[in-house]
Chains A and B, each alone.
Chain A
Amino acid sequence: MNSLERVMSAVSGKPSDRRAVLLTLSLYGAKLTGCPLYEFYNDASKYADGQLAVKEIFGTDVLLTPFVLTSIAEAFGSEVKYFSQSPPNMVKPAALSFADFMKIDMSAVAEHPRIGYLHEAAEKIAAARGKDTAVAAVFLSPVDLAPLAMGIEAWLETILFDEAGAKKIIEAMNEFFIKTVNGFFERGAHLAALPAAFCNPMIVTKRIVNEIALPSMKEAFAQLKGPVVIHHVGAPMLEFIDSLNELPNVIGFVVDQTDGLGKSRDKIGASKVLLGNIDGPTLNKRTPEQIRARCMSILNGCRADPHFILASSGADIAFSTPAENIRAIVEAAEEFGEGI
């Protein structure tokens, strides 16, 4: 059984030789190939080489397009800063208000070289490994795109105090989102992995969630040409995960390490794919033995769950994580075997 078959087994709830493993090793590819991060996040070939090295060395079942959301920010005209050991950060948004935002040419954003970089990376990874390994396109939910153009504060200011303006922005973002995410599918991605924060009632009010965020996500997701997995973005999602369950094309969720797989499963029902429960950012603080024991415990707990994928939650696995720690996860899945 190859990786793609393993992932598809989890989607369809069929038995597989072992549990599929998805680890957020986007950044880590640069460590494996020794590529400086500016080049890595700007040259699609170099990024793809990193993912191929991830596959070669760790044998994970899902490869990722660049997890570099600042690439989208750059397409809007925002300024970003690059680092030597972690993904870039947005330093200055392109727009500071609704009026500023309306000056952005969204058709130019969709055609921007930074979006081209993301698409090209997807195409190269899919061309090299798409027949035997799942390729997940990392983007953002449509309601989470605006902060990359305006910063969180200006977006909150707009969504709270200028609802008509917020709706215009979301409308523009939806169009951009649909075109870009479908572009990933056209280039061979098997699924879209979408971090979503602005549909979280811990972030925005319940009224905004129900009257703005969810309707716009529903409309946008319905027009996608492939399946979606929603990612928790570093915050617990148990309290609202069920509100996302019925969105079109959503096949699964990467939950927070604190959410609990059993409780999450209860909320999302029996047929959706559930991904977790390894804390990715702190893998560098554990020993391979601890990680292996943790994975065995998770795998045992999910023994009867045919739609479970062993995955890391949180942000990218850090540069400083020893390769043995990562290898321990796949080895645990291999040792555990069939599971169901």
Chain B
Amino acid sequence: MIDEIRKQLLNMILTADRANADKLLEDFGEKHGYNNAVIQILDPVLEQIGLFWESNQGVSLAQAYVAAKISDDFMSKIAAGNDPAAETAGKKGVVVLGNIEDDFHLLGRKMVAIFLRSAGWDVRDLGNDVLAEEFVNKAVETGARFIGVSAMMYSTAINIKKVREELDRRGLSGKIKLVAGGAVFRLRPELLSEVGGDATAANAIIASGVFDGLLKEMNETEAPHE
């Protein structure tokens, strides 16, 4: 039964049937709990779409956008309804997010913010055209261990290097991880090391998995040896 519902949701997302996808999640949430709707239905379907997208199996930006809207619709309902599922929101920690200096291509960043929030991250979205210093200041102020920087074009993506330089200058590299993303990183894989990024995500949907992985890695490194 669960598999069938997941299949239905997947198909609704891929055909941009937002209204029925919203209804499917709402119905499941009412019957089985909203937390279960996220864990058993929404998350596995998003993961599948993310993998399809990553492996070029016919998922478009538009379909990923539909997935983001449906996630946002559902998480907003949960938040508004004071459902227990909302209690997990932001529990994983703070991610400071923004488009790098001179970059105004906000769509990818907004989609990443939606998927991170859905996955339990507390996202502080600084918007477009954010200076390196502002990213680091906000991370220090909020105790964030992650900075996520987005850029769409090569000419602006190279400005992300300034965030790495700012982290180095303040001795924060290693303590605060720098995740760089945007279409250009997928098309030019060498760019991540050029800008000094710790990680990137092939697409917005799987971004939360990248942050989860880094968090796990950091926690393991910091854990006292037995």
Contact = CB atoms under 8 A, between A and B. Distances in A.
A51 B194 CA distance: 32
A91 B104 contact: yes
A127 interface: no
Given A91-B128, A315-B155, A204 B187 contact: no
A281 B16 contact: no
Given A86-B155, A160-B16, A318-B155, A205 B60 contact: yes
B62 A258 contact: no
Interface string B9-28: 00000111010000000000
Contacts of B65: 153, 156, 160
A282 B187 CA distance: 13
A201 B60 CA distance: 6
Contacts of B199: none
B154 A315 contact: yes
A161 B18 contact: yes
Contact of B110 (A153, A205, A258): A153
Interface string B78-94: 00000000000000000
A44 to B, nearest CB: 24
Interface in B27-78: 58, 60-63, 65-66
Nearest to B66: A160
Given A315-B155, A318-B155, A152 B105 contact: yes
A73 B8 CA distance: 39
B102 interface: yes
A258 B187 contact: yes
A270 interface: no
Interface string A194-211: 000000111111111000
Given A160-B66, A204-B60, A208-B62, A86 B16 contact: no
A234 interface: yes
Interface in A168-223: 200-208
Chain B binding surface, main DSSP class: helix
Interface in B112-169: 128-129, 153-156
Most-contacted residue by chain A among B60, B65, B153 (CB, 10 A): B60
Nearest to A202: B60
B102 A89 contact: yes
Interface in A66-114: 81, 83, 86, 89-91
Contact of B106 (A153, A156, A161): A153
B215 interface: no
B190 to A, nearest CB: 9
A201 B58 contact: yes
Interface in A219-263: 234-236, 256, 258
B62 A204 contact: yes
A204 B107 CA distance: 14
Nearest to A147: B107
B104 A90 contact: yes
A151 B187 CA distance: 22
A161 B16 contact: yes
Contacts of A256: 187
Interface string B93-106: 00000000011111
B187 A205 contact: no
A156 B107 CA distance: 10
Contact of A205 (B16, B153, B154, B156): B16
Nearest to A161: B18
Contacts of B214: none
Contacts of B155: 86, 281, 315, 318
Contacts of A204: 60-62
Interface string A281-298: 110000000000000000
A127 to B, nearest CB: 31
A63 interface: no
A281 B155 CA distance: 8
A278 interface: no
A234 B153 contact: yes
A35 B65 CA distance: 40
A91 B62 CA distance: 22
Given A160-B16, A314-B154, A205 B63 contact: yes
A149 interface: no
23 contacts: A81-B129, A83-B102, A89-B104, A89-B156, A90-B104, A153-B65, A153-B110, A156-B61, A160-B18, A160-B65, A204-B60, A205-B60, A205-B62, A205-B63, A206-B60, A207-B15, A234-B184, A234-B187, A235-B183, A281-B154, A315-B153, A315-B154, A315-B155
Interface of A: 81, 83, 86, 89-91, 151-153, 156, 159-161, 200-208, 234-236, 256, 258, 281-282, 314-315, 318
Which 8 pairs between the two chains have the least Cβ-Cβ distance? A204-B62, A281-B154, A160-B16, A89-B104, A152-B107, A86-B155, A203-B61, A153-B107
